Amino acid sequence: MGKKAKKPVVILKPKGRASRSAAEITRAIKKVMAERKQREQQSVSNDKK
Amino acid sequence: MTRNDYQKSVFINCPFDNQYRPLFDALIFAVLTCGFRPRCALEIDDASEVRIEKIFKIIAACRYGIHDISRIETNIQSGLPRFNMPLELGLFLAAKRFGTGRQAKKACLVLDSLPYRYQQFISDIAGQDIQAHHNDPVEVITVIRNWLRGYSPEAAILGGTEINRRYLLFTQELPALCERLKWQPEELTFIDYAQLVSRWLELQTSPEV
B36 lies in which domain range? 3-202
Distance from CA of A42 to the nearest CA of B (A): 18
- What does the alpha-carbon distance between residue B143 and residue B184 come to, in Å, rounded to a whole number? 29
Residue B97 lies in a domain: yes
Contact B156 A32 (CB under 8 A): no
Query: Over the stretch B54-63, which tens digit does the pLDDT of each residue have?
Result: 999 999 999 9
Q: pTM here? A: 0.93
Residue of B nearest to A26 (CA): B199
Cα-atom radius of gyration of chain A, to the nearest Å? Answer: 18
Using a CB-CB distance cutoff of 8 angstroms, which residues of chain A are in contact with residue B32?
A: 11-12, 14
Q: Is residue B208 part of a domain?
A: no
Q: State residue B208's pLDDT score.
A: 65
Confidence bin at B185 (pLDDT 50/70/90): very high
Total domain count, chain B: 1
Handedness of CA B143, B11, B201, A5 (dihedral sign): positive
Q: With a cut of 90, say whether residue B128 has pLDDT above it.
A: no
- Mean pLDDT across B125-148: 95
Residue B33 resides in a domain? yes
Contact call for B192 and A31, based on CB within 8 A: no
Helix axes B190-204, B160-181, angle to 10 degrees: 120
**Among candidates A7, A12, A30 on the partner chain, residue whose Cβ is nearest the Cβ of B155:** A7
- B143 occurs within a structural domain: yes
pLDDT tens-place string over residues A17-33? 888 999 999 999 999 99
Residue B6 is predicted with a pLDDT of 97
B33 close to B158: Cβ distance less than 8 angstroms: yes
Using the 8-state DSSP alphabet, how is residue B128 labeled? B
Kindly list the residues from chain A whose CB atom is less than 8 angstroms away from the CB atom of residue B204: 33
Does A15 contact B43 at a Cβ distance shorter than 8 Å? yes
Could you tell me if residue B134 is inside a domain?
A: yes
Residue B209 lies in a domain: no
Tell me if B122 is assigned to some domain: yes
For residue A35, CA distances in Å to A27, A31, B137, B203 come to 12, 6, 26, 14
Which residues in chain A have their CB less than 8 angstroms from residue B199's CB?
Answer: 22, 25-26, 29
Nearest by Cα to B156 from A19, A26, A3, A6: A6
On whether the CB atoms of residues B181 and B169 are closer than 8 A, the answer is no
The answer, yes or no, to whether residue B206 has pLDDT greater than 80, is no
Q: What is the CATH number of the domain that holds B24?
A: 3.40.50.2300
Residue B207 forms part of a structural domain: no
Average pLDDT over residues B64-68: 98
Helix (H) or strand (E) holding B92: helix B84-98
